[in-house]
Structure 1
Amino acid sequence: MPAQAHILIIDDDPLIRRLVAKTLQNEGMQTTEAVSGEEGLKIFQEHGADAVLLDVIMPNGMDGFATCARIREQSTGQHIPVLMMTGLDDLDSVNCAYGSGATDFITKPINVPLLGYRIHYLLRSAKTTYRLLDSEQRLHHMAYFDSLTELPNRTFFQEHLKIMIAFAQRHHQKLGVLFLDIDGFKRINDSLGHHFGDLVLQETSNRLRKCLRASDALIRVGNTTSDGISLARLGGDEFTVLLSSIERNEDAATVAERIRKSLAEPFILADQEIYTTTSVGISIYPVDGETELDLIKNADLAMYYAKRAGGNSYRYFSVNMTEAAKRRLILENHLHKAIERNEFELHYQPQFDLITGSYSGVEALLRWNCQELGRISPAEFIPLAEENGLIIRIGEWVLRTACLQAKNWHNQGIRLSRIAVNVSGKQLLHKGFPSLVAKILAESGLKPNTLELEVTESALIFEENILMEALKSLKKIGIQLSIDDFGTGYSSLSRLMNFPIDCLKIDQSFIRDLEQNTAKAAIVAAIIKMAEGMNMKVIAEGVETNDQLDFIKNNQCKEAQGYLLCKPLPSTQVEEFLRNQASLRPNV
């Protein structure tokens, strides 16, 4: 036992405090008194104690359970004796006392002679424990803390959240759980190396600590602020924040927005300026879950939706997200089997030469008719295939099927100047993609210059060096390259000129309503002029009205596709359409 043990007494009843203090002073101990959980926590943080006597029921402010849990979160409070004083003798209260970290409890009215012996015993036991603290603390730190950021880990966060849920349930309070993920973190690791990735994670954790301070209250060891904010790193680039004392759901959004703004500021690391953005998901106890696992899972799901919407934002969890997640899981399971079950088919939409009035090529468009679910929109299943990596296999099937079909038509006398196939950025970045294209062309017998690969503008944003090598390799094979959905991405004109592109496809969002929208009309006219100056072809997609067709013709756009001219058709129907067109086609 210390030479003169310091005992902190926390009780809102002045008579109990004086009785306990006098008893312990007579036993040769030093005492400090606090009238509330908040005051006791502050005293402990500033001065420490060798043991704490703590009343359970304190109506104004934190009760004893919450106070005990907060003491245990302090580095100096993890192993000291905490004796809880309670008039409650039900099993739930006893379990809650131990669950919050109490060493032992004593019932009221207090047996004064027994109290002195109890404290002496606890202090002697603690002295034995202290001899093992160095090794125990190291093991504890390894088990509960992340070595890279020094933040609590998933295990710590889940256990702490479980305790705080019990308190919130008892006092009918709300909790907020924030799930954070750094947008594009894999790109940082891949392009700059894992060392830079680790530096970004460390700096992220530092910024999170700073922006989660409330009223300039320092985040304590254990990473919990005095206003009930706690922070953890779950792994990778995923972090969580617990808001254990919110009045309104909107309070969580305030913190999420503060985090978003802080992490959007550039990192200066080893003389490099690195920009990141963050997606944040929010779940609220008890409406979004009553267990720690449900709250974390639902905040994670909300974060996924924030990321799907483009990132750099936050989303609240909703039940609709759960239904969508179930739908996504079902689709993913069926998508794995779609090729083997022959559920995919290609439709083809003709592209027209506006000078001759006849077709100039076709675009292959993927369709999925699932045996169990029926027809699934490409807008739903293609992003899913890109996320789970199935786009590599599916893309190969599309490319091979389209090339074989084009060669078959050619053998029948139906001549195409090109067949266009969409490829994703993931396909282009996949090792050996140019070799795969060459192999499929050889297998099908299709001339390379008949094949055109369409790449979305947004796919050209990242991994420029790798993409450039892939595109150059494809050009060496002799195929044509076009940028699909042009105008919707973020490519600068100077970057665009670096890529070996043959054609720009004006996105249909610009063609739609251009008759009434002068801004869209100006953009379309500018794209056509720009492409002409860069010696590129231009195709306007999504042409649905005669006015739209007249506009692009008058602005010297030479090719178009859209429902006005011909909708996408299955192979047999488009074959008939092409034959009829060929019979009317002038000799060229």
Structure 2
Amino acid sequence: MHVLAIQDSALIADQWLPQLQQALTMAQHQLTLLTHPHELPSAIEKTKPHLILLRLNQLTPQNIETLDHVRQAATHIPILILTQLDNAPMAVTILEPQDYFLVRNDHTTDGIMYAIHYAAERHSLLTKLKQFSVQRDFFATHDALTKLPNRFSFHQVLKRILTQARRHQHIFALLMIDLDHFKNVNDQFGHNVGDLLLKKIAQILKSIIRKKDLLIPLDSLTRLGGDEFAILVNEIKSPTDASMIAERILKNLHAPLKIKEYEISITASIGIACYPQAGTNLNALMRNADTAMYHAKKQGRDGYQFYSPNDKRAPALKKPALK
């Protein structure tokens, strides 16, 4: 553990300082002393401390300034404050919402060492809890395998885009992408390879939508489940814009993919539903994009199909023009 202490006249005069430094050294910890709080940012960057130690004996403007420097510089580091002031708890609220700890009575070496370890362990626990909370929130809206937004998150984005489209009267497209014969990959190479292939497909789709000529937001791409993905293309000028993206996806999948020691060829069938022609609500668009995708499979796979409300057979399969 590395402890960073801000040294003032009271701290220098304390007889326990050499003993504290010796105790920390014996416990294989380090103590770095600063003469001025202005040194904090560079010292934090250099030493990566686990805890900051300071003394608060008087509520002078200088000490309040020191607390403010600590608040700004030590945003993710626990702070241990030695004090005997009765109103210290009110004074140090300037540090909130950071983790800080007051030691008001036992200022012996043993007492301070105990407080240092307690503060560091408590901060470590709080940090782990925060990380767990962040991960929990992330996986509530994202697919665990590909890290793409999941179906729930995708539905929220689709609802938002629907609201915008109704308000501003623009069109958008929903592309439903299903890998062809993906079950064969799992059967032949195993589910581990199948999972790696899905992650690779996710990376390919992300790279396509982030091209400079598209720059489609990442939350518009999702793994719906299994081997099925979807992309929302907002504010398109015509359905041709959606077909261009579908062709690009199919073209990028034609090259064999290196997964472990295997080279795996995979194709996809894509169904396209455009708002408002193919539906004006979430369920209709999802259903009709899915219907168009299955038409693409029936027509031979490795292609895309637009949903047409006026033609139950849907338009003829469109194959990408490969160069």
What TM-score, normalized to structure 2? 0.55
- Does residue 278 (structure 1) correspond to residue 275 (structure 2)? The answer is no
Give, in angstroms, the shift of residue 219 of structure 1. Answer: 6.8
Give, in angstroms, the shift of residue 218 of structure 1. Answer: 6.6
Which residue number corresponds to residue 140 of structure 1?
Answer: 137
Give, in angstroms, the shift of residue 138 of structure 1. Answer: 2.1
Is the Cα–Cα contact under 8 Å of residues 216 and 233 in structure 2 kept in the other structure? no
Which residue number corresponds to residue 212 of structure 1?
Answer: 209
Is the Cα–Cα contact under 8 Å of residues 158 and 293 in structure 1 kept in the other structure? no
Give, in angstroms, the shift of residue 182 of structure 1. Answer: 0.5
Which residue number corresponds to residue 159 of structure 1?
Answer: 156
- Does residue 200 (structure 1) correspond to residue 197 (structure 2)? The answer is yes
Give, in angstroms, the shift of residue 216 of structure 1. Answer: 6.5
Distance in 2 of aligned mates of 1:277 and 1:161:
26
Give, in angstroms, the shift of residue 127 of structure 1. Answer: 6.0
Is the Cα–Cα contact under 8 Å of residues 280 and 313 in structure 1 kept in the other structure? yes
List alignment gaps of at least 5 residues for structure 2: 1-95, 99-125, 315-323
Alpha-carbon displacement from aligned partner over 1:469-510 (angstroms, at most 9, x marks no partner)? xxxxxxxxxxxxxxxxxxxxxxxxxxxxxxxxxxxxxxxxxx
- Does residue 260 (structure 1) correspond to residue 243 (structure 2)? The answer is no
What is the one-letter code of the residue matched to 2:173? G
Which residue number corresponds to residue 288 of structure 2?
Answer: 298
Which residue number corresponds to residue 149 of structure 1?
Answer: 146
Which residue number corresponds to residue 183 of structure 2?
Answer: 186
Is the Cα–Cα contact under 8 Å of residues 277 and 309 in structure 2 kept in the other structure? no
- Does residue 311 (structure 1) correspond to residue 308 (structure 2)? The answer is no
Q: Secondary structure, in 3 states, of the residue corresponding to 2:188?
A: helix
Q: Secondary structure, in 3 states, of the residue corresponding to 1:256?
A: helix
Q: Secondary structure, in 3 states, of the residue corresponding to 1:319?
A: coil
Distance in 1 of aligned mates of 2:241 and 2:304:
13
What is the one-letter code of the residue matched to 1:143? A
Distance in 1 of aligned mates of 2:285 and 2:173:
9
Give, in angstroms, the shift of residue 214 of structure 1. Answer: 3.2
Distance in 1 of aligned mates of 2:227 and 2:163:
29
What TM-score, normalized to structure 1? 0.31
Change beyond 3 A, Cα 1:183–1:218: same
- Does residue 236 (structure 1) correspond to residue 233 (structure 2)? The answer is no
What is the one-letter code of the residue matched to 2:276? P
Distance in 2 of aligned mates of 1:192 and 1:219:
33
List alignment gaps of at least 5 residues for structure 1: 1-125, 225-229, 326-588
Distance in 2 of aligned mates of 1:188 and 1:320:
37
Give, in angstroms, the shift of residue 137 of structure 1. Answer: 2.4
**Structure 1 segment 522-561 matched on structure 2, within 5 A:** none
Is the Cα–Cα contact under 8 Å of residues 209 and 219 in structure 1 kept in the other structure? no
Change beyond 3 A, Cα 1:133–1:242: farther
Alpha-carbon displacement from aligned partner over 1:303-351 (angstroms, at most 9, x marks no partner)? 0000111101000001256x569xxxxxxxxxxxxxxxxxxxxxxxxxx
Distance in 1 of aligned mates of 2:134 and 2:274:
33
Which residue number corresponds to residue 24 of structure 1?
Answer: none
Q: State the percentage of identical aligned residues.
A: 40
Change beyond 3 A, Cα 1:170–1:215: same
What is the one-letter code of the residue matched to 1:262? N
Change beyond 3 A, Cα 1:151–1:168: same
Q: Secondary structure, in 3 states, of the residue corresponding to 1:302?
A: helix
Give, in angstroms, the shift of residue 191 of structure 1. Answer: 1.2
Which residue number corresponds to residue 169 of structure 1?
Answer: 166
Alpha-carbon displacement from aligned partner over 1:116-174 (angstroms, at most 9, x marks no partner)? xxxxxxxxxx969x998544422221211001000001111011100111011100111
Distance in 1 of aligned mates of 2:213 and 2:310:
38
Distance in 2 of aligned mates of 1:140 and 1:250:
37
Is the Cα–Cα contact under 8 Å of residues 282 and 303 in structure 1 kept in the other structure? yes
**Structure 1 segment 72-471 matched on structure 2, within 5 A:** 134-215=131-212, 223-224=218-219, 230-319=220-309, 323=312
Is the Cα–Cα contact under 8 Å of residues 209 and 215 in structure 2 kept in the other structure? no
What is the one-letter code of the residue matched to 1:137? V
Is the Cα–Cα contact under 8 Å of residues 295 and 313 in structure 2 kept in the other structure? no
What is the one-letter code of the residue matched to 2:162? I
What is the one-letter code of the residue matched to 2:180? D
What is the one-letter code of the residue matched to 2:188? S
Give, in angstroms, the shift of residue 283 of structure 1. Answer: 0.3
Q: Secondary structure, in 3 states, of the residue corresponding to 1:186?
A: helix
Change beyond 3 A, Cα 1:294–1:127: farther
Give, in angstroms, the shift of residue 285 of structure 1. Answer: 0.7
Q: How many aligned positions are there?
A: 192
What is the one-letter code of the residue matched to 2:178? D
Alpha-carbon displacement from aligned partner over 1:41-74 (angstroms, at most 9, x marks no partner)? xxxxxxxxxxxxxxxxxxxxxxxxxxxxxxxxxx
Is the Cα–Cα contact under 8 Å of residues 231 and 239 in structure 1 kept in the other structure? yes
Is the Cα–Cα contact under 8 Å of residues 264 and 278 in structure 1 kept in the other structure? no
Distance in 2 of aligned mates of 1:264 and 1:320:
32
> Where has structure 1 moved over 6 Å in runs of 4 or more?
216-220
